[in-house]
Amino acid sequence: MGPAERGLIVGASRNQLRTRHLLKYRGLDDEGISLGLAEIDFDIPEPVKRAIINAVLNGEYYYSPAEGLPDLIQVVVDRWKRFNNVDIKAENVLPTVGAMNGIWFASEVCLNPGDEVLIVTPIYGPILDHMASTGAKVIACPARSEDYHIDLEKIEGKISERTKMIAICNPNNPTGAVYTRSELEGLADIARRRKIYVFSDELYDTLTYDGRTHVSIASLPGMEDLTITVNGFTKTYGLSGLRIGYVVASREIIAKMRALNSKIIIHPDVIAQKAAAAAYNECDEWMEALKNHCERMRNMLCDTLNKFKSISCPRSEGTFFAFPNVSKLFKNDVEASSWLEKKYKVRTSAGSMYGEGGEGHLRLNFATTEEIIQEALRRLSEAISEAERNPRL
Amino acid sequence: MGPAERGLIVGASRNQLRTRHLLKYRGLDDEGISLGLAEIDFDIPEPVKRAIINAVLNGEYYYSPAEGLPDLIQVVVDRWKRFNNVDIKAENVLPTVGAMNGIWFASEVCLNPGDEVLIVTPIYGPILDHMASTGAKVIACPARSEDYHIDLEKIEGKISERTKMIAICNPNNPTGAVYTRSELEGLADIARRRKIYVFSDELYDTLTYDGRTHVSIASLPGMEDLTITVNGFTKTYGLSGLRIGYVVASREIIAKMRALNSKIIIHPDVIAQKAAAAAYNECDEWMEALKNHCERMRNMLCDTLNKFKSISCPRSEGTFFAFPNVSKLFKNDVEASSWLEKKYKVRTSAGSMYGEGGEGHLRLNFATTEEIIQEALRRLSEAISEAERNPRL
């Protein structure tokens, strides 16, 4: 812990990790370390804990309106003004049962069989799956392999009369790329000219490093009504189990999502909605501390891995993932990942889960304590040395 | 409060009701009383509050497995043995985002365009809507008007080659009927002979009066794999805002629901799952007290209304609803309901929302304090007297 984070960012012990993170640590033995599932290994912020406890004590556990808890909607509207510089209204916001629910709504509402959707890969896998399951044709547009940024020419080349949407994840899970204003302007230019929707998953918007700032593509001129933004509190605020996120889109799209929502779930847990409002309202200092901590962990992780000539690991620009290319060492990323877990007891995510351009990579989640990162690096270094002696393991 | 309930069942003040029940009291002024939306006007049980607070303090806010929190699944399995006398396994249970989510899953997984579904009405409205939205043909089988019980002959007469499912709500929302073992055996007999599914919404299973016991149709011989039971914690335990329920069905049906679930929401809020486990595990005494209180409120409500010759209000056998027939006084239940709210400031639910046989009725929610019931009855008596002087208002 650096001095700025001390007292704010509370890491779990290795024993606690196994009991708290049922899925991230599922099936790992006492020695196991998980850099897999996208969860932070920290306590949630104190104001969020207080919001949950107060809701219980104040009797605020009954239905919220189906369109969302007014407190949360207002907090999202304010936040979009402050953080994204976009004026939105309550009619542009729908709280969802995690980002997964938002991705599903966006797919169901915007895509039809016969449509084409261009997806900048690697990307969070369920985006590929959900969009394909609507009957739309998913066309991968792999990012540039050297820095994981958008290849605009590739996108232009794949646009057709049937293109209905371009999908991005920014900051990118799994690569950690933070798209620049200028590349997003290039994308917006295509979208406006062709009247194509942009789907933007911005779950990691608060975690950008080396002084970078997050640009929401909805903030670019003319993009407000063309963009469907999915965001949430499950990753960066540690609320994965509470399943709480939101979508921002045009009034027409949100109206269609509300109609679907009222049939399927009515609304996300009202206490989770209270927790989310506190996260955006009262946790800026906590988030700054998390970011500083994660930036240090990224330095430690990427710099150590880059000492190996056989590995290339661009320094993540944001998120809490590193995405090293390990294809010189391993035939197959899925086999590499399971070998590392079995022999070195370090869980990672196989890059090919994230679509074209992900193969030959591993995703490593560094939102954990320094102790865990150091132990993981000790084991990974040993593993890489073994693999270097025994290439294409 | 009777002596048995004192200290366990904590009623909210009229001021608290307005701030806690955002939807039930939405749009009502200071004088308004809501006997509308299906929420209890009480604090949730202390063990449930503790479970939520402990989850926060113990760091248990990360993902549960998608198939549900093992603690909750085990509690449901145990409860089914103890309360319903049915041996189920974990593979037969799926936690859902409220019962609404369970109804939606059942409709999506079991019904297809061209199928027919017989629904015993009046019934909770979304069951009619969701089943119809699959493209299946919904055929209403109204209950007997004198006692709201199942009309088996009517069902037999409407069965065809295309009948895929019979849907009931037991105890019935809105009529309060608690189906007897013998009428459920009649239904099971039809289902077994014809190999038809039975969908059973049993959200009010703990609230049965005058010594009646709840019989789960899944407990009848040969019905385990033919029944899809939806249950939850949102109504009788006061957790409507936490959106937590579950489905019990055959392994095959649950497997299909899990596949859908993992795409749409992953799992319900893990803290809500903890709360639900505590509700089933630690709140029997609380539930007994709630039942005793509600039974007294039912007596007060039904007996007062039955003093008016123009009204017929069978004593509810279960649930927390009375369902008086007001058709001698009012042309139209929707207009009656809005007149009562406007002039007498008592909110009710119009019976025609619940399908065939509901028209000409009002649903009154009596899960509230004695003070509110008495004030509501004072106003309703005045309203009925006015309507009697001025029939077909």
Which residues, given as ranges, of chain B have pLDDT below 70?
1-6, 392-393
Tracing tokens 């449509």 back to the chain, one arrives at: A115
Query: In this complex, do B271 and A271 lie within 8 Å of one another by their Cβ atoms?
Result: yes
State the nearest Cα–Cα gap between A90 and chain B, in angstroms: 17
What confidence score (pLDDT) does residue A255 get? 98
- Amino acid letter, residue B55: A
- The helix or strand, by DSSP H or E, that contains position A310, with its residue range, turns out to be none
Q: Cβ contacts (< 8 Å) between A244 and chain B: which residues? A: 269
As a whole number of angstroms, the distance between CA B358 and CA B127 comes to 14
What confidence score (pLDDT) does residue A1 get? 54
Residue B345 tokens read as 């400031």
pLDDT in tens, A203-213: 999 999 999 99
State the nearest Cα–Cα gap between A393 and chain B, in angstroms: 32
What confidence score (pLDDT) does residue B155 get? 97
Is residue A3 very low, low, confident or very high in pLDDT (cuts 50, 70, 90)? low
CA nearest to A56 within chain B: B49
Asked if the C-beta of A47 comes within 8 angstroms of chain B's C-beta atoms, the answer is no
Across the interface, of A39, A100, A270, the residue whose CB is closest to B242 is A270
At residue A116, does pLDDT exceed 80?
Answer: yes
Query: In this complex, do B271 and A239 lie within 8 Å of one another by their Cβ atoms?
Result: no
**Secondary structure of chain B as H, E, C letters:** CCCCCCCCCCECCHHHHHHHCCCCCCCCCCCCEECCCCCCCECCCHHHHHHHHHHHHCCCCCCCCCCCCHHHHHHHHHHHHHHHCCCCCHHHEEEECHHHHHHHHHHHHHCCCCCEEEEEECCCHHHHHHHHHCCCEEEEEECCCCCCCCCHHHHHHHCCCCEEEEEEECCCCCCCCCCCHHHHHHHHHHHHHHCCEEEEECCCCCCECCCCCCCCHHHCCCCCCCEEEEEECCCCCCCHHHCCEEEECCHHHHHHHHHHHHHHCCCCCHHHHHHHHHHHHHCHHHHHHHHHHHHHHHHHHHHHHHCCCCCECCCCCECCEECCECCCCCCCHHHHHHHHHHHHCEECEEHHHHCCCCCCEEEEECCCCHHHHHHHHHHHHHHHHHHHHCCCC
pLDDT in tens, A223-273: 999 999 999 999 999 999 999 999 999 999 999 999 999 889 999 999 999
What confidence score (pLDDT) does residue B129 get? 95
Percent of chain A with pLDDT over 90: 96
Q: What is the mean pLDDT of residues A140-149?
A: 96
What confidence score (pLDDT) does residue B392 get? 66
Q: What is the mean pLDDT of residues A347-371?
A: 98
Query: In this complex, do B22 and A63 lie within 8 Å of one another by their Cβ atoms?
Result: yes
What confidence score (pLDDT) does residue B391 get? 72
What confidence score (pLDDT) does residue A106 get? 97
State the nearest Cα–Cα gap between A208 and chain B, in angstroms: 23
Asked if the C-beta of A97 comes within 8 angstroms of chain B's C-beta atoms, the answer is yes
Contacts 24+ apart (CB under 8 A), B329-333: B329/B384, B329/B387, B329/B388, B329/B391, B329/B392, B329/B393, B330/B360, B330/B387, B330/B392, B330/B393, B331/B392, B331/B393, B333/B358, B333/B359, B333/B360, B333/B361, B333/B362
- The helix or strand, by DSSP H or E, that contains position A115, with its residue range, turns out to be none
Asked if the C-beta of B241 comes within 8 angstroms of chain A's C-beta atoms, the answer is yes
Asked if the C-beta of A259 comes within 8 angstroms of chain B's C-beta atoms, the answer is no
CA nearest to A60 within chain B: B20
- Taking only residues 103 to 142 of chain B, the set having a beta carbon closer than 8 angstroms to any beta carbon of chain A reads 104, 126, 129-130, 133
Q: Which residues are A230's β-sheet partners?
A: A201, A247
Model-level pTM?
0.97
Q: Are B12 and A53 in contact (CB under 8 A)?
A: no
pLDDT in tens, A316-327: 999 999 999 999
Go through the domains of chain B in sequence order and give each one's CATH number. 14-45+284-387 (3.90.1150.10), 62-282 (3.40.640.10)
The rounded mean pLDDT for chain A is 96
Is residue A391 very low, low, confident or very high in pLDDT (cuts 50, 70, 90)? confident
